[in-house]
Amino acid sequence: MSGELVIGQDGLGRCPWGLEAETMADYRVYHDTEWGRPVRGDDALYERMCLEAFQSGLSWLTILRRREGFRAAFAGFSIAKVAAFTDADAERLLADPGIIRNRAKITATIANARVAAEWAPGELDALIWSYAPEPAAAPRTAADVPAVTPESAALAKDLKKRGFRFIGPTTAYALMQACGLVNDHLAGCHAREGAGAR
């Protein structure tokens, strides 16, 4: 893959990973309608944070295809409900074929809900969005898209200091991309309009 904008069979320009989307409808829909669009709300951001953590070391397509399984397993990513999970729930999740059965990621998901449940409503949203950088020029190729930024490193550090687990600078940047804090759709990508924080 060249890393440059690709033109799909539908004639629309997409980010290079949109090339894969040509044969994988769920990937294309995610790219076209969700990735990079602003996400607000504590539970919604908690869900994305968890999914990005589960994706670590895996393909995003693997996570997308199990997303409904994750939602069922983790009570729709309700912070309050997941915070109340017990050790028995963690064991149940380790046996659930609808999710990625990784003990460290499962326990981090529960622990993170317990941290967030102690916060005031809207506090997680406000904290994450406080790290949105100023808008930047559209990247021309995939090589122009960073894996880590000073803002993502600072966000990860802040979350860890507050007790969150399994969130490093790379995962934090993936969260920022997915939730529209940054707009990393390439110049000319049809999905770029409407994406991004501002």
Please give the average per-residue pLDDT across 131-153, as a whole number. 96
Name the residue among 112, 95, 92 with its Cα closest to residue 171. Answer: 112
Catalytic residue from among 46, 52, 129, 173: 52
Residue 60 designated active-site: yes
Q: Is the model's pLDDT at 103 over the cut of 80? A: yes
Beta bridge partners of 13: 7
Catalytic residue from among 27, 30, 46, 131: 30
Residue 173 designated active-site: no
Catalytic residue from among 20, 22, 34, 60: 60
pLDDT at residue 196 in the model: 79
Please give the average per-residue pLDDT across 157-163, as a whole number. 98
Between 140 and 27, name the one with better pLDDT: 140
Residues 68, 110: Cα–Cα separation, whole Å: 18
**93 touches 101 (CB < 8 A):** yes
**63 touches 50 (CB < 8 A):** no
Residues 53, 117: Cα–Cα separation, whole Å: 19
**16 touches 7 (CB < 8 A):** no
Residue 193 designated active-site: no
pLDDT at residue 23 in the model: 58
Structure tokens that stand for 150 in this block? 């000073």
Question: Tens of pLDDT along 22-57?
Answer: 557 888 889 999 999 999 999 999 999 999 999 999
Q: Is the model's pLDDT at 107 over the cut of 90? A: yes
Q: Is the model's pLDDT at 128 over the cut of 90? A: yes
pTM for the whole structure: 0.94
pLDDT band for position 74 (50/70/90)?
very high
The percentage of residues in the chain with a pLDDT greater than 70, rounded to a whole number, is 95
3-class DSSP state of 56: coil
pLDDT at residue 1 in the model: 42
